[in-house]
Structure 1
Amino acid sequence: MITEQENIKKAIAIQYTQTVFAAYTSEKDLLLLSRNITSYAEKKSTSEIQPVEVKELRCIDLYHFGWNIWNHFRTGNQLQMAAFLKKIFPSILGNVETETIKRHLKDDEQRGIIQIRKDLSEE
């Protein structure tokens, strides 16, 4: 049973995702990305994850995004988040080892377009 609190947490994560990625992906991919985040939040199988194309973002941006989402939900471990990111962004992270992604999730917090956030509900 999904609680009201879980629904609020998902809504915050999706709002954050749509705000952060709006300038870097298409409407269609933004919708896919939101669905992927919902699947992650609901701990669904990664087989439901669909790849998304983004422009202008680098690995560090995607690492920071992954950290922010992982930290927001505290679901699973960081290795699972790394595998999730690799599956969503194969054009950028496809050749990066899952372990490497995990190790760099919180690197250089102030660098990149997407920065580390302590709380996704804060601007």
Structure 2
Amino acid sequence: MNAKSIIGAACAALAITTAIPAAAHDPGDVVTPHFERAIPNIPGKTLTALIVDYPPGGASIPHRHADSSFIFAYVLSGEIESKVNDGPTQIYRAGESWHEPPASNHLVSRNVSKTKPARLLAVFVADSDEKELTTPIK
């Protein structure tokens, strides 16, 4: 199965997944748990996939990722502006991706468009006993 097929399957599965608001997001943003599974050949690690839906003009509040979490982010639709740690602020379009090292501060994460929604797939590899994958920066 190629990457495009995997992304298509992830989007199709959204119809049967319950959406929940995320603590590090504005009330209008929705984070949908999509997949979570312990990694059998890496004891103590779990892979978690989430879909983040940003409404037009929607943004996450600045947040910190868990100390053990490595993140792969892939823009499914729209354009998302992101700034991680002291890296540059960048705009990623549908089909583009980036990664975030463990314990990252995600200072900017927002939908660039004021008129169209945007959607992001976030895949975390983290310690299985992590309680929170993201926490707001105070």
TM-score in terms of structure 1 length: 0.32
More helix by share: 1
More strand by share: 2
TM-score in terms of structure 2 length: 0.30
